[in-house]
Structure 1
Amino acid sequence: MSPDKTIRMANQIAAFFNAQGTSAEAVSAVANHLKQFWDPRMRRKLIELVGDDGAADPAVVGAVRQLRDEEGSGGRLPS
């Protein structure tokens, strides 16, 4: 999958959850969605892609931080 499509898909998920509640709730909901429905390889690719370039929605950036923290604590990304 192309990097642009990966970011676009994550941003679409964030747009949905941003409309549902607070930004903190959106971050948590995006992270949970990624853990539940995205293949671990897709999550790893998203983690690699999200940077400070502004392409990713802030909820996606927060969700990626949360996933990185979980990856660091367990040594690998949870399935």
Structure 2
Amino acid sequence: MKIEPLIKMANDIGNFFNSETDKEIAAEGIRKHILRSWDPRMRREIIAYCQQDGAALSDLVRTAVSRLEQA
């Protein structure tokens, strides 16, 4: 699977949650959404991308994905 569509989807999710003023709540919302909506292969790929570079992900999404790594 190409990483670009995953990056776009993750950033779109991040844009939705970015309206939350509490960024901790927003990051947790992104993490939960990815955890329940993405299949394990997609999660592994976005985590690997974040670990390698992650430059195309928003800061909020990088925070959420790094929490996926820890789970």
TM-score interval, smaller chain: 0.7 to 0.9
Whichever of the two has the greater Rg, that structure is: 1
Which 4+ runs in 1 deviate beyond 4 A?
A: none
Q: 1:35 Cα shift?
A: 0.7
Q: Could you tell me which residue of structure 1 aligns to residue 35 of structure 2?
A: 35
Residue correspondences, number = 70
Structure ranking higher in helix proportion = 2
Letter in 2 for 1:68: E
The one-character-per-residue Cα deviations of 1:39-70 (angstroms, maximum 9, x if unpaired) are: 01100000011244521011111111111111
Percent of pairs with identical residues: 36
- Which stretch has the larger CA shift, 33-42 or 47-56? 47-56
Q: With the length of structure 1 as denominator, give the TM-score of the two structures.
A: 0.79
Alignment partner of 1:47 is 2:47: yes
Q: Which 5+ residue runs of structure 2 have no aligned equivalent?
A: none
Higher relative contact order (CA 8 A, sep 6+): 2
Q: Could you tell me which residue of structure 1 aligns to residue 5 of structure 2?
A: 5
Q: Which 5+ residue runs of structure 1 have no aligned equivalent?
A: 71-79
Whether the aligned pair in 1 keeps the contact of 2:54 and 2:62 (CA below 8 Å) is no
Cα RMSD for the two superposed structures: 1.4
